[in-house]
Structure 1
Amino acid sequence: MSDGTLITLISLGVTMLFMFGVPVFLVIGYWVIGMSFVLELPLDNIGAALADVFTDGFALLAMPLFILTGDLINRSGIARRLSDFAYSCLGWIRGGLGMASLGACGLFAAISGSNSATTATIGSMLHPEMVKGGYDARFSAATAAAGGTVGIIIPPSIIFIVYGFMMNLPISDLFMAGIIPGILMVLAMMLVCFLICWRHGWGYLIALSLSRVVKTGIGAWLGFFAIGLVLWGIYTGKFSPTEAAGVTVGFCVVVGFLCLPLHRLINRGRDERPDVSERSYGEMLVVRGFGPIELPSITMRSAQITGILAPLIAVSVVMQQILSVLGAQESITAFVTGMGGYYPTLFTAMAIVFVAGMVLESLPVTIILAPILAPIAASIGVDPIQFAVVFLVGASIGFITPPYGLNLYVASGVTGVPYFRLLRYTVPYLAALITVWLLVALVPELSTALLP
């Protein structure tokens, strides 16, 4: 049997495994091992590549730390305070609670850097509130799923860390480049939310109250401080993204430990009053917090997520090497550059990212395609930082694009709304995000304006 036939059979076999729900890490791993036998590559190359990633990848240390940050701010109650502030600012507009959930996604993303954590946290908190507030349950779940897409664009971003590590780009510059596109994504989705809710008359309105805005703003001060700490430290060069992740984790742990006894003292041991207007300013200053006994369980949950992502990055590095041996990079390069011209080449690369995002999570899309498409973009004059943002905004859209749509599965899981019932209300958000994506591709300044 020829090598070409074996390669085809192995690729078809692992594709079937993927369709049957086998984890992506195992699918890529089986393919890598099979290809190593076919191409007669030494298997110890796999072990060496895995060791290099885990021992030399200092930048990747930020990934588990930002995952842990997301879990800490959720457990401490900081995430709830951010969503309360967003609702106070937008609740007087038709669809205000839906818009507030999108705003809360943006604020949560500015600390956690994860799309799935953003969708799960905001969806579990605000979906019940939206349903009680007169919103359609399907629309509410779709809103949480769409809002989570900014989790990997607004800095800090786990996937930006991976991209910067792989393409040897300054992660701090990538973080800065994601701010404006991330804000545009949130604003575009808010507009869609307003139009849909205005058409259907969904949502109960609350009066715009300056005192409520001020009170919830004070209540969210710890979240704002964490966001400012990360951006200030990275932008001024006081610490690297990896160091910023460590500082943020330390801050969240200290806040959680200190706030728990203070919260119990101020609230006299009772649960926090659900109505913000009934809380005193003293109650708003302190979040719920958590105790040392809870820290191991929080850390374990974050470690489980890291344990899924880190091996995938490592084994995908070997996959890149094998694809290079097979000539895949040259074939794709020839196809994309064969389009001719700046915009045809750029849009073809974007189309490849979009299609890949429909069937794969952003991490394997980045690991597999970024080393191939980024040099092509650079060869036609696209700024590497701008293309990174274009690439990753396109990958983020895949989170709500069937048949994969990771955020749709996450939103379905936390809200109880069946996956296929989310799709109808996902389409308008998808159109808004694609519009922003095209703007980011056509206007380089949206990605580079904040760079030092």
Structure 2
Amino acid sequence: MDNSTLITLVSLGVVVLFLLGVPIFLVIGMWVTGASLVIDFTLANIGVTLFEGLNFFGLLSLPLFILTGDLIAAAGIAKRLAEFAHACLSWMRGGLGLATIGSCGLFAAISGSNSATTATIGGIMQPLLVKDGYDSRFAAATAAAGGTVGIIIPPSIIFIVYGFLMNLSISDLFVAGILPGMLMVIAMQAVCWWMCRKHGWGSISPLDVGRVVRSAGSAYLGFFAIFIVIFGIYSGIFSPTEAAAITVGFCLIAGLIVTREIRWRALPDILLRSGQLTGMLAPMIAISIVMQQVFALLGAAETVQSFIAWFGSGDVVVLLVCMGIVLAAGTILESLPVTVIFAPILAPIAIAAGVDPVHFSVIFLVGAAIGFITPPFGLNLFVASGVTGIPYSKLVRFALMYMMGLTISWLIIAFVPWLSLGLIPQPG
């Protein structure tokens, strides 16, 4: 058999393993090994590249931002941010639902994780939403949808991965995600308001300025943590890694001394949870470097480029087809494998068509984020289902409404580059 047939058989074999539930890292690793044997690419390269792929100072911010998310949840900072959001929005129809999405945005501005955002905010807000008269399925879907901004609003774990893979400034990527993330929050809040107005969900209470001020004072720790990350990176005072380390230290001290909701004996469990997630992400990043090398030898980029060219050669056509590929991949894969598999292939094609590389990174990852609530995968829907106990299938209907709002915001982000590039400091 020729090499193309053997590669096809290897690919089909690992797809079967994926469908059987084999971890994605092992699936990709098996494919890389099998493909390397087929094309006679030395296996010694795998070991060397796995090490060198992680031997990068900028990746130190990855475990630190993961730990930050666990610390702010354990320290009660997330709950205080949610209370502030509700105080600001309680005067509107669906105010508590709007506050849930707003809380996700605030939590994302410290944690950088979609699943952590969904689990933490969903666990806090879903019981309150149900108590206030919201449909329990809608409440859980709202937390799942709100969690999509976890990888867009900086700091973002997946932006760190993307920047590392594509050799882009992580600081620039973080800044580029600010306005698009805010637009996504507004789009989801618009959907939430419309749904609540249609069904009459949620109570309305007059705006209490005193309550807003008091809740803002209670949430000052969260605001300061956001300030450390956003202002520190934007101004150039901190690198992303330095900002992550300082934020971890701040949240740890805040939880131990100020809120006193973190106990010393709980620290090993918090560190273990963060370490487990880091242990899942780091091998994926390493094996992705090897996979890029194999893809290059197989001519994968040229194949995809020919496929896209079949639709036309205009920059708009290229961008729309790339977006379609990302969205389709996001329906069956989590954002990390979508990024490590498709970003090295699609980004050069989009850049050749005239799309700014930083702008495309935002377009790419917003599409991957929408995949978090897109069946049949929809990771955030599984997380929300696990937190609330509501079956996955019962969340899909409401998640699709949020998906429509997110898709509209995605198109705006794609065709208004200023949203991604306008805040990035220009040299000189």
TM-score, normalized by the shorter chain, greater than 0.5: yes
* Alpha-carbon offset, residue 319 of structure 1: 1.2
Name the SS for the 1:402 alignment partner: coil
1:382 corresponds to: 355
Runs of 4+ in 1 over 4 A off after TM superposition: none
* Greater displacement, 363-372 / 106-115: 363-372
Deviations 1:293-331 (A, max 9, x none): 221110110000110111011112111111111111111
Q: Give 1:393's aligned amino acid.
A: V
Distance in 2 (CA, whole Å) between partners of 1:31 and 1:372 is 17
Distance 2:84 2:205 in 1: 13
Cα shift at 1:2: 3.3
- The 2-side partners of 1:448 and 1:252 are apart by 30
Kindly state the Cα deviation for residue 206 of structure 1 after the two structures are TM-superposed: 2.8
TM (norm. structure 1) is 0.92
Q: Which of 333, 354, 361 is the aligned partner of 1:360?
A: 333
Answering whether residue 320 of structure 2 is matched by residue 320 of structure 1, we say no
SS at match of 2:84: helix
Q: Counterpart of 1:186?
A: 185
1:2 aligns to 2:2 (yes or no): yes
Which residue of structure 2 lines up, in the alignment, with residue 158 of structure 1?
157
User: Are positions 1:430 and 2:425 aligned together?
Assistant: no
Q: Take 1:312 and 1:174, find their aligned partners in 2: how far apart are those partners?
A: 20
Quote the Cα distance in structure 2 between the aligned partners of 1:400 and 1:21: 20
Aligned with residue 298 of structure 1, among 270, 280, 283: 270
| Cα root mean square deviation, aligned | 1.1
Alignment coverage as a number of residue pairs:
424
Between stretches 442-451 and 4-13, larger displacement belongs to: 4-13
Tell me if the contact between 2:254 and 2:260 (Cα under 8 Å) persists in the aligned partners: no
* Matching residue's letter, 1:35: A
Are 2:366 and 1:393 equivalent residues in the alignment? yes
Residue 267 of structure 1 corresponds to which residue in structure 2? none
Correspondence for 2:16: 16
Q: Specify the code of the residue in structure 2 equivalent to 1:135.
A: Y
Which residue number corresponds to residue 147 of structure 1? 146
Does residue 1:197 correspond to 2:196, yes or no?
yes
Counterpart position of 2:49: 49
1:441 matched to 2:414? The reply is yes
* Distance (Å, rounded) in 1 between the aligned partners of 2:132 and 2:214: 22
CA contact (8 A) 1:174 1:385 kept: yes
In 2, the alpha carbon distance for the partners of 1:241 and 1:175 equals: 9
Distance 1:406 1:59 in 2: 27
Note the C-alpha offset of 1:7: 1.6
Give the distance between the partners of 1:8 and 1:385, measured in 2 at CA.
33
Which residue pairs with 1:336 in the alignment? 308
Structure 2, unmatched stretches of 5+, are none
Quote how far apart the aligned CAs of 1:4 are.
2.6
Give identity over the alignment, percent.
Answer: 61
> In the alignment, what sits opposite 1:35?
35
Deviations 1:254-280 (A, max 9, x none): 112212xxxxxxxxxxxxxxxxxxxxx
Within 1, Cα distance between the matches of 2:131 and 2:418? 42
Quick check: 352-361 or 107-116, which moved more?
352-361
- Asked if 1:84 is matched to 2:83, the reply is yes
Deviations 1:221-246 (Å, cap 9, x if unpaired)?
A: 00000001111110111111011111
Q: Contact 1:337–1:376 at 8 Å: present in 2 too?
A: no
Q: Distance between the aligned counterparts of 1:14 and 1:124, measured in 2?
A: 35
Once residues 205 and 69 of structure 2 are traced to their aligned partners in structure 1, the CA distance between those partners, rounded to angstroms, is 29
3-state SS of 1:404 partner: coil
Kindly state the Cα deviation for residue 79 of structure 1 after the two structures are TM-superposed: 0.3
Query: Which is worse superposed, 384-393 or 334-343?
Result: 334-343
Shift of 1:436: 0.5
Q: Partner of 1:264 in structure 2?
A: none
Distance between the aligned counterparts of 1:63 and 1:206, measured in 2? Answer: 41
Please list every run of 5 or more consecutive structure 1 residues that lacks an aligned counterpart in the other structure: 260-286
Deviation at 1:288, TM superposition (A): 4.1
How far residue 5 of structure 1 moved from its aligned partner, in angstroms, is 2.5
Of the three residues 320, 331, 349, the one matched with 1:347 is 320
User: What secondary structure does 2:331 align onto?
Assistant: helix
1:289 to 258, 261, 269: 261
- 8 A contact 1:91–1:97 mirrored in 2: yes
Structure 2 distance, partners of 1:22, 1:129, is 37
Quote the Cα distance in structure 1 between the aligned partners of 2:96 and 2:23.
36
C-alpha distance in 2 between matches for 1:377 and 1:175: 20
SS at match of 1:359: coil
State whether structure 2 residue 80 is matched by structure 1 residue 107. Answer: no
- Whole-Å Cα distance in 2 between the matches of residues 3 and 93 of structure 1? 62
User: Any residues of structure 2 matched to 1:219-258 within 5 Å, and which?
Assistant: 219-258=218-257
Code of the residue aligned with 1:239 in structure 2: it is F
Aligned counterparts of 2:131 and 2:260: Cα–Cα separation in 1: 24
Q: Give me the TM-score of the superposition, normalised by structure 2.
A: 0.97
- Contact 1:390–1:440 (Cα < 8 Å) also in 2: yes
